[in-house]
Amino acid sequence: MHASMWSAWSRILLPLFGLLLCIEEPTVHSAERSATGEKKQSQGSSSYPWHRGIVATVFWIGTDWAPQSPGGNLRSAWDAGWVRHYGGEDSPAARAGLLPGTHAATLNPFYVALPFNDLAHPALARKWIPWDGSEAADGRSRCEGHWVEIERPGGKRVYAQWMDSGPFVSNDAAYVFGGHRPRASAGIDVSPAVKEYLGLGGRDPVNWRFVDRRDVPPGPWITYLEEAILYQAIKQKDGNAGEEDRSSPKAAGKKKGRKRSAR
């Protein structure tokens, strides 16, 4: 008797419980998306809003000058040795597919710039940056290296790392982290690899949003990042070995020998 009563109640209560769960979850997520100007904890890529119909311009590591980057891109907002750390210029005129054609990339060739610099605007950073560690006082940027997802409307998607500020401005937090439109005519700079992967021209509209690292799927943006880390380690090892060779007594003797023979 009791078993039959429980079975009857379960047929009524379980669907109601499921309905309550369906109602509750969107309410929480919509509250997160509607917040403007306040920090909020991310819960995967679904908590980051899309920025739609944003004009994308192309820039690259080593640009001497461009309208959206009047100071050039020999250095980034967070890396004074950007060109050296990448291994050279990332020119769109000398390519090997998605990679630079003149050297091995020692940083991820899939990168972007967004118009905010947290180190230059710490008060805005504390107010707007939604992910963990935005208030750490170690002097390092909490924006540099963060992942973004970019898509052509109705087309392909690509993933890239935020590596510089721009185009044009560096304090547009209400756009970068909120729901405002960009103050400048373009709202994101993309690297040659991103441009080629998506088939972009000079000023195409794209959609983009932030994603957490755990939500980045496999693709050339991961493959080439891993290769860059490997090349960077090899380059550093070769450099250290060269320093040791030059400082060793044997190397010094060779130098003296060459000097004497030159006479």
| Side-chain half-sphere exposure of 90, counting CA atoms within 13 A | 30
Provide the pLDDT for residue 15: 38
Asked whether residue 99 carries a pLDDT value surpassing 50, the answer given is yes
Higher-confidence position of 182 and 21: 182
Residue 133 pLDDT > 80, yes or no? no
pTM for this model (two decimals): 0.73
> How much is the pLDDT for 241?
55
Q: Is 45 in contact with 149 (CB distance < 8 Å)?
A: yes
**Which position has the higher pLDDT, 136 or 127?**
127
Model confidence at 132: pLDDT above 60: yes
pLDDT at 32 over 50: no
The pLDDT of residue 22 is above 80: no
